[in-house]
Amino acid sequence: MRRTLLAARAAVPPGEAEAAARRLARRALELPELTGARTVAAYVSVGREPGTRELLAELRARGTAVLLPVLLADGDLDWAECGGPDALRAAGGTGPGTPAVPPRRLVLPAVRPDPARLHRYAAVCGFPDDGRLPATYPHVVAFPLAMSLMAARDFPFPLLGLVHVANRVEQLRPVDAGARLTYAVATGPAQPHPGGTAFAVTAQARLGGETVWRSTSTYLSRGPGTGTRTAGPGTADLTVPSRRESWQLPGSLGRSYAAASGDRNPIHLHPLAARLFGFRRAIAHGMWTKARCLAALATELPGAYAVDVAFRAPVLLPTTVRFRAERAGQAEHSGDAWAFDVRAADGAREHLRGTVAPLP
């Protein structure tokens, strides 16, 4: 039942959630227990929890002292008075409404890619069969570890409804397709975000004692916005694209990528499942879109590089999208730097924007 209720709550459009928060505030403020209270202990809602920020702001406007729980540096809980909508003043406190993500790490030792799975992955993403791991393939090996961390009972955000908003991959050198890699995946701290609360999941792959691959995936738990939006990769629009391609994406793409990657989130598999989460049709995996962009640039990429992408808008399947890329960068070896994007066929909607930068 809990999973059903969390899924239903995650599917509520932001506008309806905000209206419900206003109704909640009005009703609570009418309660006699709050009318004459001088001090109120409360909490700051996060993610898709019923909104409390408007209620807390009104209580403070009335002169009521609002106490909120804070996590201290030693892991203990305490109370602190809310000093304003964006700050708590408590020595060692974490700040308002930003829950503590358990700092955990999982390791998967000495894994060799399954040749059949790797072949399916390369085929669905468009990578050449050149005997090397595609730069995005380690992500699919590390992904089950990330899911285990985020599915833990004490993880502060519901897994259903999390949005993958950005991803950075660093290929520190080419890796043979048959290499045995040891993976380590860890959770990072939560950060305020204009769309709710964001947190990072980091991963690395080691060959022997050498780190050969790293990634950072940024996820968003939607809710009342806090913090300042940071600039994403390639914030300037492309000016002189030298590469242009049109991709026809079938309705079965999500199922094909799920079979190769293991990411079987229902929003990618069937329109009926996607509608439960507010989408009219199934949507393409963001990491497929990123992988397809790298495959399109495969012959242009250096041996060591970092690729950053921001996922701007979902790609509803089936559809046709257009890929564009241009040379970018001012640093040494800037000939290996690229900026790219993926847009709707008419160019009106941007689905993804990214950059490739060479690494030393």
Indicate if the pLDDT at residue 320 is higher than 50.
yes
Give the pLDDT confidence score for residue 60 in this predicted structure: 81
Class of domain 105-358: alpha beta
Give the per-residue pLDDT at 92. Answer: 30
Q: Nearest 5°: CA angle at 58, between 55 and 62? A: 140
> pLDDT at position 226, please?
61
What's the mean pLDDT when you consider all of the chain?
85
Q: Under a CB-based contact definition with an 8 Å cutoff, are residues 68 and 62 in contact?
A: no
pTM higher than 0.75, yes or no?
Answer: no
% of the chain with per-residue pLDDT over 90: 54
* pLDDT above 50 for 27: yes
Sheet holding 338-344, edge to edge: 105-111, 181-193, 196-207, 210-222, 163-171, 305-311, 350-358, 338-344, 319-327, 243-249
CA-atom Rg of the chain in angstroms: 23
Q: Where are the domains of the chain?
A: 2-81, 105-358
Q: What is the 3-state secondary structure (H, E, C) of 223-261?
A: CCCCCCCCCCCCCCCCCCCCEEEEEEECCCHHHHHHHHH
**pLDDT tens track for 221-236:** 988 766 555 555 655 6
Q: Provide φ and ψ at 105, rounded to 5°.
A: -145, 135
Task: Check residue 234 and give its pLDDT.
Answer: 52
Which stretch, 56-65, 88-97, 147-156, 164-173, has highest mean pLDDT?
164-173
Q: Do domains 2-81 and 105-358 have the same CATH topology?
A: no
DSSP helix/strand/coil, 100: coil
Residue indicated by tokens 């004692």: 209
Homologous superfamily of domain range 2-81: NagB/RpiA/CoA transferase-like (3.40.50.10420)
